Amino acid sequence: MSRLKVALLAGGNSSEREIALGSANQIAAALDSAKYDVKVIDLHYRNMTYTAPDGTEWEVDKNDFSLTVAGEKTLFEYALIIIHGTPGEDGKLQGYLDMMGIPYSSCSQTSSTITFDKISTKRAVAGRGINLAREIFICKGDKVDPQAIVDELGLPIFVKPNASGSSFGVTKVTSVDQIDAAIEAAFAESDQVLIEECIVGREFGCGVVVTEEKEILLPITEIVSKRDFFDYEAKYTEGLSDEITPAPISDEIAKKLNRMTLEAYRACRCSGIVRIDFIVTEAGEPYLIEINSIPGMSSGSIVPKQVREAGMTLGQLYDIVIEDSLKRFK
């Protein structure tokens, strides 16, 4: 039986590039080499580059999505996408793969566009029994009145890039005079900015995969940041956060989180492995934070810990995802 020729696409163009490359190495090691012939491809702007074991670099031919190394050509049959941010999480890469007729592991182009764009995510899930923080949405060039923002949303507030990940450009604002600088930092990452009221509570990450045959709700993780919130440093610096899996929560709260996780997944037409984050208030009400259509898969990331707690390996989970996506693309 011939092995499936897989391009494991990593890197990308955003601030999350190095995170994605770290995730790719873990996944490449986890995949069953008897089933898959895997090449890690570093995508950076126009370049798709494979680095051979001897250090030589070879470019992917984007005309037919193939790789020729020392005269031997591989025509890729599948794309496993581990690119956080653009172009892997915002739908651009999925559009190229759709045109080439290549099945892939992540959400579709449409779904990726919706989930990467925070305001679009909120509009997609609205009216489906999912609690959402109040927000103000601004674009570059809009006039901003900091005091009016505080009058509407109160303090503290979160100022976020509308399309970004890993908390790049996110600021927790505690006074009106911090708003202009926070908006400027968010605009450095995105052309639109989302300003949200601060929902006080405990933070949770919910990993999920839905296939044609089954719903896989991974054990819920509680995220306890030792900083003011779960920012980039807390996410990727050892010792700055505790991630408790399974989360110490009641069955009632777990049921609410699982219901909203599945509802958000379906409302945004997700596929593949997704992590959906919530804040749960003291009253036990979950509020959606965001949907991560390509969650981190490095050794310290949340989803791999959930997979281990569920008694699975990453390789087994990706077997399920690959098999399901190959069926969908037939």
133-167: pLDDT as tens digits: 999 999 999 999 999 999 999 999 999 999 875 56
Helix, strand, coil distribution of the chain in percent, nearest 5: 30, 30, 40
The partner residues of 280 in beta bridges, in order of sequence, read 202, 286
Report the interhelical angle of 314-328 vs 302-309 (nearest 10°): 100
What pLDDT, on a 0 to 100 scale, did the predictor assign at position 96? 98
Mean pLDDT of 292-297: 94
Options 3.30.300.30, 3.10.129.10, 3.30.470.20, 3.40.50.300; CATH of 114-132+200-328? 3.30.470.20
What is the C-alpha separation between 109 and 45, in angstroms, rounded?
Answer: 18
- Measured distance CA(192)–CA(141) in Å, rounded: 10
Q: Is the pLDDT of residue 234 over 50?
A: no
Q: CB burial class (10 A; 0-12, 13-18, 19+) of residue 20? A: buried
The SS3 assignment for 208 reads strand
Cβ neighbours of residue 229 closer than 8 Å, sequence gap 6 or more:
158, 167, 170, 172
Measure the CA–CA gap between 310 and 239, rounded to whole angstroms.
24
> DSSP 3-state assignment of 219?
coil
The pLDDT of residue 237? 59
Q: Of 327, 319, 293, nearest to 107 (Cα)?
A: 293
pLDDT at site 85? 87
Task: Please give the residue that has the higher pLDDT: either 308 or 14.
Answer: 308
pLDDT score of 240: 67
Percent share of the chain, pLDDT over 90: 85
The correct CATH number of 4-106 out of 3.40.640.10, 3.40.50.20, 3.90.1530.10, 3.40.50.12280 is: 3.40.50.20
**Which residue, among 284, 315, 279, 241, has the nearest Cα to 31 in the 3D structure?**
315
Give the range among 13-22, 29-38, 69-78, 308-317 with minimum mean pLDDT.
13-22
Task: Name the average pLDDT for the chain.
Answer: 93
Reported residue count of the chain is: 330
Backbone angles phi, psi at 206, to 5 degrees: -120, 110
Residue 214 pLDDT greater than 90, yes or no: yes
Fold of 135-197: Dna Ligase; domain 1 (3.30.1490)
Report the DSSP pairing between strands 4-11 and 36-44. parallel
Please, how many CA atoms are within 13 Å of residue 135, restricted to the half-sphere of its CB?
25
Kindly list the distances between the CA atom of residue 330 and the CA atoms of 87, 104, 154, 327, in Å, as whole numbers in the listed order.
Answer: 24, 12, 51, 5
For residues 178 and 198, the answer to whether their CB atoms sit within 8 Å is no
CB 15 within 8 A of CB 85: yes
Specify the pTM: 0.93
Domain ranges of the chain: 4-106, 114-132+200-328, 135-197
Two tokens at 142?
């809009």
Give the residue-averaged pLDDT of 217-226. 93
Residue 17 is predicted with a pLDDT of: 87
* Res 183 pLDDT > 80: yes
pLDDT per residue over 302-327, tens digit each? 999 999 999 999 999 999 999 999 99
Asked whether residue 231 carries a pLDDT value surpassing 70, the answer given is: no
Residue with tokens 């029994």: 129
